[in-house]
Chains A and B, each alone.
Chain A
Amino acid sequence: MTTTEKPMTLKSLTHKNDNLSGGHRMCSGCGAPTIVRQVLLACDEPVVIANATGCLEVSTCLFPYTAWKVPWMHSAFENAAATASGIETMYRSLRKQGKLKKEMKFIAFGGDGGTYDIGFQALSGAMERGHQLLYICYDNGAYMNTGIQRSSATPFGADTTTQPVGSAVQGKTQRRKDLTRIMAAHNVAYAAQASPHNWKDLMTKVKKALATNGPAYMGVVAPCNRGWRTQTNDSIVLSRLAVDTCYWPLYEVEAGKWTINYDPKERKKPIVEWLKPQGRFKHLFAPGNEGMLEKFQKLVDDDWESLHKMASAFGAK
């Protein structure tokens, strides 16, 4: 494949194999399979995938059927990163022994539950050991597969089944964990945030991450119409709004160098534009909850400002 030299266009990409087949049982309008298709289209070498338990795993591989056209492995909820580490180590050993000549790449997929919470220890370990693998978290902000339970990626104020809106609390009382920064703090070779609406940015990041000589992490926002309580046709609209409101800034950290890939500047939209279409934030618009909306906006603004500080302190000189 020579797609890396030529500018990446959708026309040229149509010549590549679509390595996720139709017939998987992800919900209609789910954001995750769009992300997977884009990631697989960005790969030029053969890839091996490890998958944490989650929507993506249960719905793409219903034994004895699989939607994947690349080698794929699932073992448990908490260990996608450990599984990928093992596969990558075996690959290096076989190369050393001269039993394998091919250049191969390794990717682990996990949802936010399998990444931020349950698989966090395995992920942190894999990043610290420096395996040459790319971990991609498709972040829909709750345990959507098991019925919308809160995770540490759930945004402030969101209604979930384990922190529901009632008379005592109005959704999640804590803010979400910023995992991309935690991964950057592991001093990994590459850490980035991407969104499926900007396919070019996402695919360029996958190519960069796979080309680095070390561990890489990518967090990708994945709209979930069941859990976010939205329409089936707005997953791309909502991922675009997440970026335009700076809830999900597109940035990358390459060997300690911070770059903001997209800055909406004066076109930065107020967070309510992203919150309003989502049923999980409906209560924030009820009388008496104005303070929560203000708090949400402040959290986003503070993070955005802090990201700018990082980019100016540790950016390209």
Chain B
Amino acid sequence: MKQMKWNELPHAGTVLKAGNANEYKTGSWRTYKPRWIEENCIQCLFCWIYCPDSAVTTKDEKMNGFDYDHCKGCGVCAMECPGKKGNKAIVMEEEGK
């Protein structure tokens, strides 16, 4: 994220670029990291609809991974993941291990 100089700031408290918070990476907040195990995934998309950080990515109506730049590692996706035959498709693993 590039720091703005005072004369580059938009006037009157307006923000003109929609969704530019995306440039700010919250991935460094994480202590635990979600890992996707594709063979256990039934594509229910619960992880996607429940993610508070819009950090579950989709392509062609299917979950296809995580946006680790913004995932804060809360673990809601892993908690709500029904998995297949009792095996979760998302597991939380400690960062840096």
Chain A residues close to B by CB (< 8 Å): 10-15, 18-34, 37-38, 60-70, 196, 199, 231-237
Contact = CB atoms under 8 A, between A and B. Distances in A.
A310 B64 CA distance: 46
A225 B45 CA distance: 23
Interface string B15-58: 10111111111100110000000000000111011111111001
A153 B63 CA distance: 37
B52 A26 contact: yes
B89 interface: no
Classify the secondary structure of B's interface with A: loop
Contacts of A38: 49
Contacts of B52: 26, 28-34, 37, 235
Nearest to A37: B54
Contacts of B9: 63-64
B70 interface: yes
Interface of B: 4, 9-10, 13, 15, 17-26, 29-30, 44-46, 48-55, 58, 61, 67, 69-76, 78-80, 92
A31 B79 CA distance: 14
B74 A22 contact: no
8 contacts: A14-B45, A21-B20, A22-B53, A29-B76, A61-B21, A63-B15, A66-B15, A233-B76
Contacts of A26: 52-53
Nearest to A59: B21
Contacts of B20: 21, 64-66
A179 B72 CA distance: 32
